[in-house]
Structures are given as C-alpha cells and as structure tokens.
Amino acid sequence: MLTSFPPRDGTLIPRKSYMWASVQTVRGYPKHCSVCSVWRTDGQKPRQRPADAVVEEIVQSRRLGFRFIALADDNFYPVTLTDLELAERQKNKAHLEQLKAIRAERFELMSRLARLPKDTVFYTQITMEAAEDDEFLDAMKSAHILGALVGVEAVTPDGLKDVYKDFNLSGQALIDRLKNFRSHGIHVLGSFIFGLPSDKPATFDATAALADAADLTFAQFVILTPFPGTVDFAKWEKTVDVTTAQVNGIPLTRRWLIPQESRPKYFGLRPTMSADEVRQRTQAVWDKFYSFDSIWRRSSFLKSLKARAAFVLISKIYRQMYADTGITTDSARMARSTKIASWLAKPCRLLFAGRPMPDLEVPPSPGMYPEPEMASGD
C-alpha cells in the first residue's frame, strides 16, 4: 500500500488554465516493455494508494469545478486474470491472497467513484489484458471511467516481439479485444509506435486499417524514441559511435542536451526504412485517422449535432498538438503548431468545465450501505 504518497493541494491549480484535473491511484508497472521507462523508475511491483486518500483528492477537484479527471496511472489494472490463474496453479497461497487484496481495493475505489455526481468523467491508462475481464470493465463503467489509453504499440507479432509486449494480441484477435472495451462503454485512445526494427511500408497501412476497424475513439501514432533507462536505449547506445555521432560536440546518445532545433527526432534500432520515410508514413496515418470524414464517422455514437461538433473540435485539437512535429520539423513550425492548438483549446475548455460543488461530500467506504448494482455493458 502506498501510504506515504503526499496528496497534492488542488486549491493551487488555476482552474481557468486547465481542462481537467489529475489524480494518481497506483504506482509501479509489472511488465517490462522495451520502450517503457516506468518499470525502471517506479518499479514493477504495483503499490496502491488507499481509497480514502484518492477519493478525498478527487472530491477536492470536483468541488473546484473539475468534472473531467484523469486517473494518471501507468496501469489502472495492476492484477490480471492471468496473474490470479498463475498463482493458483503454482499453489502460492500467500501471493494469491495478496493479488486478491489488490484487486479488491480496485473494486472498492470504483464503488466509491460510482457515487460521485453522474456528470463526473474519469479516464485512465490500462493494459490490453483488462479487455478480457468483463467484471472489471463493468465496474469501470459504473464508476464513470469512460476512457482509457491502451498501449497497443504494434499490430504484428514481430512488432510485439520488438517491444517485449507479446502478451498483446495481433490481427482480428486484437480488433476483437479492443472492441470489447467499447462494448462495455469504455472509449479507447489507442497508442501505436512506428519505427520498430520489423516495420515495413505495409505496417503503416495495416496499423491505419486496424485503428479504423477496432472502433477506436482516438489514436496516437508516435515514432520510436529510446529513452534513458529503457531496454531500447541500452541496445541503441551500443550501436552509436560517440566519437563521430555528435551534434555541435554533443554525443547523440545524450540528445537531450542538444538544442531542440538541432536535435534529431528519429533513432532507429536496425531500421529498415529511412528516417524521412518513417516520418512521412507516420504523418500520413495521422492525417488519415483524423481526416474530417473519419472523425465525423467516429462521432456517430453521440446523439446531438452539438456534441458531434464538439467531438470534431476536440479531435482536431488533438491532431494539431502533434502536427508538424515530424523528424524534419524546425522549432518555428513546432511553436506555430503549439500556438494554434492553444488557441483552439480555449473554447474547448468550456466543454469540459463543470459547476463548482463546494459542499460535495466524500462518498463513505463500502459496508456503510448496500452495494449498487453494476451497470450493464449495453
């Protein structure tokens, strides 16, 4: 249990400068994906904050008028059904009970979030494995956790091996798994990585097709960057001759010290395509997914014209945040994209705002009243 986590003071947040608030509920990532630095910095053992502390912090934000709140976890689903099955097969009773306790704490937290005002909306980050846990997804829906970033990363078996994420699926099985989130009322922001060693031109087309077929509400397509501390960085660093690979005297392996306007933006691990081709194909996938026709089609789950127009605006803002940030982009174009995104975000902020609720009470812990029925996945 993460009891030493200091709560943030929400009263210090300038309400008019933010669309949403954020709260962290669990720290630690049990996987070992090659692109990920979290399991190195935060450890692989999940440590959860007590539900009381989390709910107090959330209620504080809701009192201030934040009705959209990010549960800023690297994985809101720290115990999978596979984890439980493995502990049972190993007859590791102590470990099994520990896992069950962590899972029970997740459900306790969600049962209390379910009692907050119904216009409160949460979103988080979660692994693909949650899609096979219908009970957990039902609890998320009941708790108003209506959106989740899911690290898909790659759509081919070879790509998943590249990132040490072969616990994910590919092909039609991946589409079905992603659709299960949506069938339970959870909207997915799918995250994909391009520039993997196994990527080919056809990979980009396959990724764009899958993102469309899987009913993703949003998607992001990022270019592989080996961050310090990751497995990918260690492999990449060994391939670089620091005596020749320099920018203004700074080794490429210390790229964060290179001024942004001079810093390369692609660091291939045994690349099969040129940096410029990776950039162009990545931008093309962005443009296809966020074309007006594609956005309008995805907005069909909304009933009113006003809501669909807002969805288009939000989608365009998200795309603009990533516009002109390709491998060859200079700092002036990046600054211009940031300015445009900021300008578009001003009217959008009003869509996220809620009325302040200074008298909102903290939902009591379970056991003080009967548990509500879980919402159906329809």
Examine residue 11 and state whether it is found in any structural domain, yes or no: no
Please check whether residues 149 and 273 belong to one and the same domain. Answer: yes
pLDDT in the model for residue 268:
67
- 239 CB-near residues (< 8 Å, 6+ apart): 269
The residue that leads in pLDDT, 188 or 320, is 188
| CA distance linking residue 320 with residue 339, whole number of Å | 10
Instruction: Taking residues 18-24, report their average pLDDT.
Output: 88
Listed range (16-25, 130-139, 262-271, 328-337) with the worst mean pLDDT: 328-337
pLDDT in the model for residue 41:
81
Please check whether residues 82 and 215 belong to one and the same domain. Answer: yes
DSSP string, 276-336: HHHHHHHHHHHHHHTSHHHHHHHGGG--SHHHHHHHHHHHHHHHHHHTT-STT--HHHHHH
Please check whether residues 150 and 272 belong to one and the same domain. Answer: yes
Please check whether residues 72 and 115 belong to one and the same domain. Answer: yes
Residue 252 has pLDDT above 50, yes or no: yes
Examine residue 250 and state whether it is found in any structural domain, yes or no: no
Examine residue 58 and state whether it is found in any structural domain, yes or no: yes
Residue 348 has pLDDT above 60, yes or no: yes
What pTM was estimated for this model as a whole? Answer: 0.84
The residue that leads in pLDDT, 289 or 350, is 289
Please check whether residues 122 and 153 belong to one and the same domain. Answer: yes
pLDDT in the model for residue 370:
46
pLDDT in the model for residue 195:
86
Examine residue 324 and state whether it is found in any structural domain, yes or no: yes
Examine residue 343 and state whether it is found in any structural domain, yes or no: yes
How far does CA 135 lie from the centroid of its chain? 21
Number of domains in the chain: 2
Q: Give exposure, 78-93, as e/b (b: 16+ Cβ within 10 Å).
A: bbbbebbeebeeeeee
Residue 234 has pLDDT above 90, yes or no: no
Examine residue 323 and state whether it is found in any structural domain, yes or no: yes
Task: For the chain, give the percent of residues with pLDDT over 90.
Answer: 44
Please check whether residues 310 and 208 belong to one and the same domain. Answer: no
Instruction: For 46-61, write each residue's pLDDT tens digit.
Output: 888 899 999 999 999 9
How crowded is residue 168: how many other Cβ atoms within 10 Å of its Cβ? Answer: 22
The residue that leads in pLDDT, 335 or 378, is 335
CA distances, 269 to each of 117, 130, 237, 260, 262 (Å): 48, 30, 10, 21, 21
Residue 14 has pLDDT above 80, yes or no: no
Please check whether residues 215 and 311 belong to one and the same domain. Answer: no
Task: Report the CATH number that the domain containing residue 32 is assigned in CATH.
Answer: 3.80.30.20
Examine residue 361 and state whether it is found in any structural domain, yes or no: no
Please check whether residues 187 and 326 belong to one and the same domain. Answer: no
- The per-residue pLDDT of the chain, averaged, comes to 85
Please check whether residues 221 and 309 belong to one and the same domain. Answer: no
Which of 5-14, 34-43, 92-101, 157-166 has the highest mean predicted lDDT (pLDDT)? 92-101
Please check whether residues 112 and 216 belong to one and the same domain. Answer: yes
Examine residue 181 and state whether it is found in any structural domain, yes or no: yes
Q: pLDDT band at 328, cuts 50/70/90?
A: very low
Residue 85 has pLDDT above 90, yes or no: yes
Please check whether residues 130 and 50 belong to one and the same domain. Answer: yes
Please check whether residues 55 and 86 belong to one and the same domain. Answer: yes
Q: Give the domain extent around 139.
A: 20-225+265-289
| CA distance linking residue 315 with residue 290, whole number of Å | 7
pLDDT in the model for residue 208:
94
